[in-house]
Amino acid sequence: MSAGVGVDLENLWIRFGDFVAVRDANVHIKGGDFFSFLGPSGCGKTTILRAVSGFLDPSEGQVLIGGNDMKGIGPNKRPTALIFQNLALFPLMKVWENITFSMEIKGASAKERRKRADELLDMIALPGQGDKLPSELSGGQRQRVAIARALCAEPDVLLLDEPLSALDLKLRQHMRTELREIQQRVGITFIYITHDQGEALTMSDNIAVMRAGVIDQIGDGKTIYNDPSTAFAASFVGENNVFRGTVKQVQGDKALIATNRSGDLLARISTANQGKMKAGDDAMMFIRPEAFALAPAGTQGDHFVTATVTNEEFEGNSFNIFMEGEGGKEMKVSLPNLGQSFDSHKGQPMTLQYDVQNAVALPAGDLATE
Amino acid sequence: MPRFLKEFFDRNGLGIGSLMLGLVLFWTIGLIILPQLSMLDFSFRPNLPPPEIGGPKDVYTMENYKYLVFGPEGGSQDYNAVDLKVFYRTLVAAIFVTIFNLILCYPIAYYLAQTKGNHIRIFALMLIIPYWINEILRAFALRIIFGETGVLNNLLVAAGIFDTPFDFVRNDIALYAGLGYAYILLMIFPIYNVIESLDRNQIEAARDMGASWPMIHRRVVIPYAKPGISSGCTMVFMLSAGALAAPQILGGPSSLWFTQLIYQQFNDNSDWPQGAAYAVVLLVTCILLVLALMRVFKVNMGDIGK
């Protein structure tokens, strides 16, 4: 299998009539990467995938696979294989016929195909299941058959359109690990579409966060989680607490923000926005639930927050505390359960502190609603 | 009481359940099975004047069936060549009409089923509305189109394609066109229904794997559409073989349809037993042919109902 074929999107625009589905996307996916497009439904990520697989022509810009412009090359001629959200296995063909359909097209003999199917069935840990019909398999097994069918075509790039969304939670988590393992074994480029940030973070080498046709940020999981470049990325990926306000003062790579509810708070300006924020700008500050720690009651300062506790819950590995937050949304705080005693503060004010490095200041922007 | 009956009554209540069951039974037994049995009975009896019915001469006989095969007793020929030839030609022509219809309707049904948008509804309406006009009128309309001085001939001669008008009627082209046209909806809609439920992703998946369009149809769409295709083909074949109006109006003077022979026996010769025998032979042959073809193409009876 030829490893390491990269995919580049250059100034890609896709319009449906007046509607802009993808706006000026520039993405460079390295060969052998596990790359995810992450965004809420309707953000244009599936549209991008269809443009890469060839089912859709870009309105402007280019799709390059392995450096070659794919303009005018149909889906049946591209070195890509697509795994559909509903898998689209052929219900009337046996599993082995499904898997080797791409070989049948090329005129391979039944014997050859059978042999290859058995190899692939071994690889996806379904040996001896070739003579069943897809309807006789479980959801997870069908999932693996769809992967084997796509891999059988020996594509340079495997495209996956939310293939795990139909599975139940446990199986989904198991398949994450399995998909990642398969990708590392075959070494080809995977492009993965998902709205599930957990999937994107656990599997991907790199992630593009999309919103309403625009790519907000591209980076590895850690960067996107810790150093988001837009308010949308900060609120969409993982849980986050938002503090709205205006920039009071910029101090090097930090900004003092006059928040609407919690006084002046200090935060690190995200890397992408260094030098772009100035006093008086509308700003948002984000602090993750796990970035808070308890502080002595009533302590004041630029990294202390005091608010009334509305609810508390014990999740086993952590205590979750919900406090009065911004715009009717509760502020969530997670304290790891290290066996410490924990006094209920329900209905009472509670003071928290945070490390300024873990608070991110961003220009005000749209938040994710999901 | 069998379980399915009990469930049926539990679900619908005794009153409504009995009414529905009664109507269905009346429909199948009273309107279909009993008349057919009576026809079958007729076909084995001699053609007697009314006073002799029930008399000593009214006994079961194979005479009527023998007549179809061997002709009148003491006739000049060993076999009833004329009627057998008509019978054979009717079946072959009905098969031909069915195949022609399938080739014509499959692409239309596929297009209707896999294309989205309002124009599809208009398209379907345009297919249906002509069927508001009754069958006889439609057949006569075709006769006007295909006649010697008809629209088509005028056009073809004016365009210089033919020097003299072509006799579409005598060459049975008008008949085949009329039969084909009469039943296209019965071919299109069963196929359309099945293909409409085909997941478009399957077509795209096949295309993504490099399949050409003929390959996609052969391996993905047609196997999926098979129940619809067989149901459409069965209906078109049965109805074409049993059609009377189209052959009557559009058939050439020398080409008889088997149903016309049956009609003549009943109506012109007043020989009901003979007509009944012919009708039974046609019905049984058609059913056997359909069953045989279903076996060849591996279609289950249950699929036809889909």
Which of B197, B201, B203, B208 is most worth mutating to test chain A (most A CB atoms within 10 A of its CB)? B208
Give me the pLDDT at residue B306, please: 57
Structure tokens at B63: 């005479």
Angle at A264 between CA A260 and CA A268, to 5 degrees: 105
Taking contacts as CB-CB distances below 8 angstroms, the residues of chain A near B212 are 76, 105
Given an 8 Å threshold on Cβ–Cβ distance, is A86 in contact with B199? yes
CATH number at residue A35: 3.40.50.300
- For residues A39 and A90, membership in a common domain is answered with yes
Give Cβ neighbours of residue A114 (< 8 Å, ≥ 6 apart): A96, A100, A130
- For residues A252 and A210, membership in a common domain is answered with no
SS3 of residue B243 by DSSP: coil
Q: Which of B201, B204, B210 lies nearest to residue A105, judging by beta carbons?
A: B210
Determine the residue of chain B that is closest to A150 in CA distance. B209
Give me the pLDDT at residue A1, please: 41
Give me the pLDDT at residue A327, please: 65
Give me the pLDDT at residue A131, please: 92
CATH number at residue A304: 2.40.50.100
Give me the pLDDT at residue B158, please: 86
Out of A202, A226, A250, a domain closes at A226
Domain count, chain A: 2
Instruction: Report residues of chain A scoring pLDDT below 70.
Output: 1-3, 326-328, 370
A234: in domain:
no
- For residues A148 and A265, membership in a common domain is answered with no
- Which chain A residues have any C-beta within 8 angstroms of a chain B C-beta? 53-55, 74-77, 80-82, 84-86, 88, 90-93, 101-102, 104-106, 149, 153
- Residue among A311, A250, A303 nearest A281 (CA): A250
DSSP A109-164: -HHHHHHHHHHHHHHTT-TT-TTS-GGGS-HHHHHHHHHHHHHHT--SEEEEESTT
Calculate the alpha carbon distances from B146 to B76, B100, B155, B167 in Å: 38, 19, 11, 8
Determine the residue of chain A that is closest to B220 in CA distance. A90
A14: in domain:
yes
- For residues A243 and A221, membership in a common domain is answered with no
- For residues A255 and A287, membership in a common domain is answered with yes
Q: Is the ipTM of this complex over 0.90?
A: no
Tell me the C-alpha distance between A21 and A42, whole Å.
Answer: 8
Give me the pLDDT at residue A3, please: 54
Given an 8 Å threshold on Cβ–Cβ distance, is A82 in contact with B223? no
Q: Summarize pLDDT for B137-171 with one digit per residue, the tens.
A: 888 888 888 888 888 888 888 888 888 888 888 77
End-to-end CA distance of chain A: 39
8 Å CB contact between B246 and B139: yes
Mean pLDDT computed over B53-81: 80
Of A17-26, A193-202, B48-57, B293-302, the range with the lowest mean pLDDT is B48-57
Tell me the C-alpha distance between A163 and A309, whole Å.
Answer: 40
Given an 8 Å threshold on Cβ–Cβ distance, is B208 in contact with A86? no
> Please, which contacts does B257-265 make with residues 24 or more away whose CB atoms are closer than 8 Å?
B257/B86, B257/B90, B257/B93, B258/B86, B258/B87, B258/B90, B258/B91, B258/B282, B259/B90, B260/B86, B261/B83, B261/B86, B261/B87
Name the strand (E) or helix (H) holding A218.
strand A214-219
- For residues A65 and A183, membership in a common domain is answered with yes
A368: in domain:
no
Cβ contacts below 8 Å, chain A against chain B, sum to 58
- For residues A174 and A218, membership in a common domain is answered with yes
A212: in domain:
yes
Tell me the C-alpha distance between A285 and A331, whole Å.
Answer: 13
Q: Which of A82, A84, A105 lies nearest to residue B211, judging by beta carbons?
A: A105
Q: Is the pLDDT of residue B187 over 60?
A: yes
Tell me the C-alpha distance between A71 and A64, whole Å.
Answer: 8
Taking contacts as CB-CB distances below 8 angstroms, the residues of chain B near A76 are 207-212
Calculate the alpha carbon distances from B243 to A358, B144, B148, B194, B282 in Å: 84, 20, 24, 27, 12
Mean pLDDT computed over B221-233: 92
Give me the pLDDT at residue B2, please: 80
Structure tokens at B296: 């060849």
Give Cβ neighbours of residue B36 (< 8 Å, ≥ 6 apart): B283
What pLDDT band is residue B10 in, cutting at 50, 70 and 90? confident
A314: in domain:
yes
> Positive or negative, the Cα torsion across A282, A283, A284, A287?
negative
Mean pLDDT computed over B244-256: 82
Determine the residue of chain A that is closest to B226 in CA distance. A92
Give me the pLDDT at residue A59, please: 92
- For residues A129 and A265, membership in a common domain is answered with no
Pairing of strands A60-65, A68-69: antiparallel
- Provide the CATH topology of domain B44-304: MetI-like fold (1.10.3720)
- For residues A43 and A177, membership in a common domain is answered with yes
Structure tokens at B253: 């003077």
A1: in domain:
no
Taking contacts as CB-CB distances below 8 angstroms, the residues of chain A near B208 are 53-55, 75-76, 80-82
- For residues A183 and A75, membership in a common domain is answered with yes
Taking contacts as CB-CB distances below 8 angstroms, the residues of chain B near A93 are 219
Give the structural domain span for A296. Answer: 239-363
Q: Which of B201, B208, B219 lies nearest to residue A76, judging by beta carbons?
A: B208
A370: in domain:
no
- For residues A291 and A172, membership in a common domain is answered with no
Out of A198, A226, A254, a domain closes at A226
- For residues A34 and A68, membership in a common domain is answered with yes
- Which chain B residues have any C-beta within 8 angstroms of a chain A C-beta? 199, 201-202, 204-212, 215, 219-220, 223-224
